[in-house]
Structure 1
Amino acid sequence: MTNQLFKNGVLPFVVDAYDQSVYDSKIVFSTQDIGTAKLVFQMRKDGVPLPLSAVDGKLVLKFANGSKHIRNITLVDKVEGIAEYILDSNEIKIFGKVQASLNLYYRNGQSLSVHEFTFEIDRNLIDRDIAPAAEFYIDDFQSLKKQIERMAAELETDIQNRTEDMQGNIDKITKELQEQLDRMKEKLDDLEALETKQGAQDKVNAHANNSEIHVVKADKDKWNNGQLYRLTQNNGKPIYKGTSETTDYNEITDTGFYLIYNKGLNGPPSINASFMIVISYTSTLLQTIYDTTGRKSYYRIKKTDSTWSEWTRVLTEEDKITQSEKDKWNNGQLFKLTPDDGKVARLTNGTDIFTLPTGFYMGANLVNTPISNDGSFYYVEVLETAYSQDDVNYKRIIVTRSFDNMTWIGTFHAQGFRGWKKTLTVEDVANSTFVDTYDQDNSSVSAAENVATKLVFGATRADDLSEYNRTRAEITLKNSGLYLIRLYVTSTNITVGSDNILACYVNGTEFQRLGNWNPTTASSTCVLYLSQKFKAGDKVTFYITPKGTGKTIAINTAYVTMSQVR
């Protein structure tokens, strides 16, 4: 049937647990709204329409006369959550307040109370002043016919009685009663066309045996055992997380298909939008991510201890390494000079640095360092060759002490370890003392027997002229340390066999003798050496004291070289 008219009572229901009080809908139908009284249900949950897939809706109606009906509702739009129910011709005649409850029963065993509400059925003027008709269970056609005939007789009697009692309003009442009597007679005429009880039962049996319109138990079992969990939206599209959200990937743990259209939190690096598949099983799950550009994909798992693994990128054909690249790597330097992080490895205490292979190291309390029993930290560089001789591998070792930056170099040669050699820096040279006199024309002096006579030196090649006072033949040391002294003197008239003392004076007092000069010829040369420690500021001079000469001797030339060793 098309172009039907309805009186719609719209009921917008929000499904939640906050307000379950009985809703007064203010809907009023009339007893004459036969086939047009429609209840329209608009259901929403969490701000969106409530899906009505795999669900049966039941409407419970309790009428003013105490009768209760349970009816199936019609699902009009399952996606938008819209359903309806049209009151039948019997229900619309039961006037008064109607209490109602809408319930949903899902195929997976869940059920949901949508809301309780009330509405009114107003008694139309045309239906007033009619005695209520009692409900009967009619066993067969003949008894129904007798009952209607009896009721018709009662109405005729009532018409007669009302005519006698209500003379002033007889026309009106007679008309109303006559109309009711006519309707009763119409019903009596309709009964002539009713089927017999057996005919009705035959139709019921035929309907029950029609497999095309009925669901058998096997069908129900198949549907109940099917996939009931929703992996997508109802329209088959992935579950959507839009740009207005900040999606935390750690919180998406339900199995399903997703489209995440925002950068989110805890996602793969450099991914701003992605398709994601989640497979969850009890306490473990897998997340697989596909970049919406189709270029990159990642996966990770949530372990049983609730921690996540790192995102692992899935390699593609673009990531394939060519054979030429592999050959280049395989032919490269494979010996590691440091750990993988590029930092120098610390050696364990007591390591013998002579046994180390090529590489860079550091450590303390090492064996065979330049300073014995030194627990300081040293940096060690080893360069070991493939060449050996007499079972000795040629090797060079450079060590630097950390706290004072002093460096030594040592080598292994055919004869074994060749010893440590300390390197000098610019600062070492600048801070050392070196005085070397060479002017033979201005260094002569006469020395009397048994008299300490200062030797005179000429010009000097001192690295710092402020340390040498030529007039006084005096060297003023600027550094404390160990010094090596070389003294060179000559004479052409020294007594053979004499015993002449050569000494070093500090601040005008004899400090240390270099030795004795015992000439074997009158024209003789003496060279003496002295290794001695001095302090900064010491004023150093050199003297000769002739012994057993029996005369004054002449010193023709005198040279001195004084250099700081350390």
Structure 2
Amino acid sequence: MAYEEKTDWLPDDPINEDDVNRWEKGIKDSHTDLAAHKNDMNNPHNTTKAQIGLGNVDDVQQAAKKDFDQHNQDQDRHITKDEREKWDGGQLSKFTKDNGAVLLNISDGVDFHKVAVSQYKTFTFYTANSGINTPPQSTRGIYLHSSSTYGEALALANDGGIWRKSLADGNWSDWIRFETEKSVQEKVDAHANKTDIHVTKADKDKWNGSQSAKLTQDSGLLIHKYGVDFNIVTETGFYYMASTSTALNAPVNSNGYLFVYNYGTYPYQEFTSYSSVIDSVPNTRRKFIRNKVSGQDKWTPWIELEYSEGAQQKADKALSAAKDYVDSNFTNEMLTCLPDEKAILDARTPGTEYPLGVTLWSIFQNNDTGYPLGYGLIKNEKLNQYRFTQYFYGNADEKNGKKYQTGTWVRHWWTGSGWTPWDKISGFAHAKITTKSRQALDKGNYNKINYNSMISDSHNAFDTTSNRFIVPNDGMYFVGAGVYIDNVQTYSNFELTIYLNGKQHKNIAQYRHKPQDPSTSKDFGVGVYGAGTLSLKKGDYLEIYMYVGYDDITRYVSDRSEAYNYFEILEMGGIDPTR
């Protein structure tokens, strides 16, 4: 707080403690401000050089006179005018390091091209053999800089090798090694010392008289033979055979070339004619080969080799002839397919009445003479009267979504016993049905199980309204059934039975339960499952019944899934059930 003076004192005004303290504080503040002012060296009053008579003095630090005299006598710190002028025209970029060593080390992974272009100066360098774009060995060298797009590099290796690379118009050349006198002499000496590449005069003389088994004449022309015996031409070579009409043992009387290759006692001959007319085709060359039998003074017969053009012509001719013969003698109808007027439609006709070979005809108009179905296709495979097999293919259209007119059967004809029964070999029927509702079981009676929910039915042979399977084809069938019963812990007896055509046919499972502590309040589920095989005829029908015995509350077929309640039928084979 600033000092506040009191200037209105009166002679009789009293002086109290506050007045004295105010005086003491004012004295103290004055001393403090004076000390701060004395120590302030930053020219607090903004005094100028002119105000103190120093207007002509420069604003730089002035050295003492003794210091100036000592500096003036130090000749190492002074240069002459000539020395300043010399440095102005000097080398401002270093060529080497300060100690005279190579300036740049282009080591592993460093690219010589990038270093040279980026320096913009001449420099000395060292390269490692693993640098980029460096010589393939360690070198020391100099790069002469012209511009960023022109320059020359010269590198020296310890083994005396000299390498050069150029930059011209921004494009680098490869490193080129210059041979030294020493390296050139070493290569010449090494070449001169190779005895396997030099020949003597004796070698040359031998070669001049070589080719004892001449392929051609010395001039390169073929060896000429006129009217010779082919059997005596055994020396390896190429021969021009003229006037072969007078030659002996030639394959054809035609001019041509003969090639002979003789390896020991196995002379081989190959003769190619100039041209001839073969099968009315002019200018066709022919080729023949033969060899001499080892250890014998005889030749094998001449074998003519077929050219691709001639082979194709013969193949085309043979194919055309075969087509003409087939078209003239066979048709599909004559071979296998018999018209309706020639077909044997009565299945009871003996096999001896059928034609030989493979024949086909149709069965139609709901034929009932003994074929497996009323519609289909017959195929007969008759080799003779003792080997005869007949196939029946049920391939009629489905009727009302049912497949009872499909499948394949086979039978055989025996001369002693006649036709065998039909055996089915494909197109087997299968079905699986379950129940979706809970069914009460009347005690003391056989109850038909109401299988009313279709899972699969290949021939649409199951009627869910009557809960029965109608057999689509004669044959053997596998039948399986399962019923899961909601039961209680009292006496009960369950018997699962297959009914055939409305009558009990085969009992397939039984469950009887008589607990020691009976109780109608305790639930006790029971599964009754069984299976059997049946020989059935087309049109038979199957149902599943269960006899139920109990003496208290009603039992029920549960509404569990097809894993517990099911009726399955699988046609196993087309064996005639009457056998």
Q: TM-score band, normalised by the shorter chain?
A: under 0.3
| TM-score (normalizing by structure 2) | 0.27
